[in-house]
Amino acid sequence: MTETAPTPANASPAVKPPLLIKIASPRGFCAGVDRAIEIVELSLHKYGAPVYVRHEIVHNKFVVDSLKAKGAVFVEELDEVPDGVPVVFSAHGVPKAVPHKAAERGLNYLDATCPLVSKVHRQAERQVEAGRHIIFVGHKGHPEVIGTFGQVEPGNMTLVETVEDVANLQVIDETKLAFLTQTTLSVDDTAEIVAALHQRFPAIVGPKGEDICYATSNRQAAVKVMTDDCDLVLVIGAPNSSNSLRLVEVAEREGTRAMLIQRAQEIELRWFDGVNTLGLTAGASAPEILVREVVDLLGRHFDVKEERVKTVDERITFKLPRALAAEADAA
């Protein structure tokens, strides 16, 4: 990070340039992330360390490192989990074979899959049971996509990522199609892809409600409102966080320069040349402490004024697994 030169002891302190920081609301943790983190913490409280977690519980290094410090052990595959210890499945969901394998081994497992992702899993099962082939809109290799594909037998789903993919689709029966989407996509991009699917396959069946989760939609809407008056937008989130990357894209689509950062120390002061108003938001896996860290750092170099840009109240909460409900009451 570029630092300003220190002020000599006998000189008057330099006047800090003004910087208005518009902070998006809502931002940061969503109900699914809150629930997933709480599941790991309550498991550690109930069973003691170590508690194993298959895949990152959420896509945020700060969160993962904090849980590691409390005794969580993160692995990529169930084979890495020893016998006799609890294991938690991440918020992104897992293929159906994973809990089956855990049960076969007699492992005590807890599923932290976001309930909104689980809803998509159930929709996939129902569409296949109805004899439909599923066109799934998502990003190849994302854990949520892998987990959703793993809910049905191979060959029952086809992935599309772009409108061009829709144009190149080859299907056996155009009258027996359904579509579902990843929950953390760009609202605008997904709308274009879904419109292309409807245009090419008029009989295609979609979900009764939108699959893109409320938190993803709300955070993107807040960025859209905020960008008109901003010279730069910073999004706090991980480079493998789909919803955080989409926030950067939304700001750029609105014509505002935007950057993704994980922590305040990644900021370079040269980014702020000519910047009078900064937009600040955080992806759904980024804790509020990282937002304050950025504001505090900028406050050392600028005369900061904060302004909240509030678009909606979020009051959604999700129930914990039954096995941890009593632990939560006692905590």
Residues with active-site annotation: 144
User: What are the φ and ψ backbone dihedral angles of 202, each rounded to 5 degrees?
Assistant: -60, -25
Residue 47: other Cβ atoms inside 10 A:
15
Amino acid at 156: N
> Which helix (DSSP H) or strand (DSSP E) does residue 292 occupy?
helix 288-299
Using an 8 Å Cβ cutoff, are 183 and 116 in contact?
yes
> Which helix (DSSP H) or strand (DSSP E) does residue 191 occupy?
helix 187-200
Alpha-carbon distance of 72 to 49, in angstroms, equals 7
The sheet with strand 87-89 has its strands ordered as 72-75, 51-54, 87-89, 109-111
User: What are the φ and ψ backbone dihedral angles of 138, each rounded to 5 degrees?
Assistant: -175, -175
Return the closest-CA partner of residue 55 out of 41, 42, 74.
74
Using an 8 Å Cβ cutoff, are 91 and 57 in contact?
yes
Residue 239: other Cβ atoms inside 10 A:
11
Tokens of 172: 């056996």
